[in-house]
A = this chain, B = another copy of it.
Amino acid sequence: MAEKIIYLDRGFRQEFIDKMTELAPNYVIKTELEPTDLMNVEISLGWNRQYERELLASPGLKWVHSISAGVDTLPLTAFSEKGILLSNGSGIHSESIAEHIMGVILGYSRGLFQAQKAQAKKEWLGTHVHYQPLEKQKLLIIGTGQIGKMVADKADSFSMVSYGINTTGHPVEGFSQTYSLNEVEKVVADMDIIVNILPLTEQTKGFFNYELFKKFASHALFINVGRGASLKTADLVQALNEEQLAFAALDVFEEEPLPEKSPLWEMDQVLITPHIAGLTSDFQNKLMTIFLANLKSYVTNQELKINEVALQKGY
């Protein structure tokens, strides 16, 4: 009988390899694959594009676990057609991203970014700094999943008022009101801060375009920690130049690293962070908590316990 392989696209600490072996003693664990291994891979932790064609052609592949929460770069249609299970890393980065969002809101609202720029010129701005207390500020969180809820919770300790947007507009605890994606144009004008945490899907691609930015309040702060392609970068640049909104803090970009020729680098009303919002410590431990829970249920009954991705929805 051919061996069954769990393929890991990167190395993990021995303690985790040991636990995998204990939970799935009938599998061989490999971090490098020979050509003859490819048709025996049943479980893939991470998705190595180098093996994509062979793995999708093999009848052996049953379950892919994505390291990240976003699965927009994976061949979802092929997975769906072949009945391959997919789970993701949702939750690992949530607390970090929520902290990043609050840091950006506070850094902007307390004039810290402006002060740091002035420091480089040995300039003492004093009361000329732009500031805005957070109390009663209206925060629109687009994406009311785990990260969105964490942000709403933290925003509450600053007496901000959180509004949410999700696919259907269903109510979510911690949000003073929620709306559906289709209603976004109606509500943005009234918001002080707009945060995008949406996954990238057909519906959210290019979602933030010039027409939408035109509806923003001119003092609005826009934060994108979702996906770069949710945003039409050229449209944002135009909207900022026309003062349709006041400031944008961007952590994700249509092309990464952000090309040197991008006008965003030099814009005074833009903070660029290099896709760092999700950085977290003890990453292996957090990833393995999810993967091992799923491995246990997979070997028992071929089902995933947590974080299964609905392939039709894409998240």
Contacts and interface: CB of A to CB of B under 8 A. Distances in A.
A113 B127 CA distance: 21
Given A117-B116, A153-B157, A280 B107 contact: no
A289 interface: no
A124 B274 contact: yes
Contact of A134 (B99, B122, B157, B266): B99
Nearest to A127: B279
A103 B106 CA distance: 5
Contacts of A107: 103, 106-107, 112
A35 interface: no
Interface string A80-124: 000000000000000110011011101101111101111110101
A135 interface: yes
Nearest to A135: B95
A312 interface: no
Contacts of A111: 273, 276, 279
With most chain B CB atoms within 10 A of its CB, the pick from A95, A131, A274, A275 is A274
Interface string A125-160: 111010111110000000000000000011011110
